[in-house]
Amino acid sequence: MDLTGNVALITGGTRGIGLAIARALHAHGARLLLTGRSEEGGRSALARLGGGPDIAFRAADATVRADAERAVDEAVERYGHLDVVVNNVGGATAFATVADITDEVWHETLSLNLDSALHTTRRALAHLLPQRSGRIVNIASVEGRDPDPGLCAYAAAKHALIGFTRVLAKEVGAYGVTANCVCPGPVETDWFTEQGPRAAEVLGTDYPGLVQHFTDRTATGRLTRPDEVAAAVLLLASRAGAGITGACLAVDGGMTA
């Protein structure tokens, strides 16, 4: 799956799953522009990826239209074209039941997971459609297929992202552009470790209980690793994935089997 000559934009590419995706795509020859909100996080990611002229970072908030569009334009200006877009920005901004969730949390979560993908994708299509080629990969979640209590906003957002991706695939397929989702299960990242105790509280358990709750639902008996998610993205971003579009590829250890 050679990506030599390809340019990839990865939103939220400085840590966790995003960083693993960056590492995989760069290892197979892609030139990268990573985005994230933190300048410090960006510098750290570049250092961890080894630096060099083929990896760049731009501080951007993908939920802000101007930031998202500028990141797309910078990728094209820096490298001359754009081939792959990975919409990795997302997450649960809070954990709450339908009865308890606030309007603020609801709208913030939808914006983080949906507005970010819309702003980036819409701008990217201005470049991908005329060149009649491209790959768009949206990072959804197992919660978009088999949701847990206490994650109403996040689950709603990921369900919507899957629907968005399927519509997009039908709209752009004739132009040589594919659009797919990857739906990870719970992944061993620093974010999961940081936010896990809050999710556990909503579910009425502790952090070890939360991990057990998820692993008991898998066929593998463990959480998913970031590099396993990255491998799926690599396939969808490559020439080998040209025949796959409108798909939702589960990387969840069999949770949704």
Catalytic site residues? 154
Pick from 120, 156, 152, 111: which is nearest to 138 by CA?
120
Residue 55 makes CB contacts below 8 A (sequence gap 6+) with: 22, 26, 31, 32, 34, 46, 49
Q: In angstroms, rounded to a whole number, what is the distance separating the alpha carbons of residues 257 and 252?
A: 9
Query: How far apart, in Å, are the Cα atoms of 149 and each of 52, 105, 199?
Result: 44, 16, 10
Query: How far apart, in Å, are the Cα atoms of 77 and each of 1, 158, 175?
Result: 25, 31, 22
Q: What letter represents residue 245's amino acid?
A: T
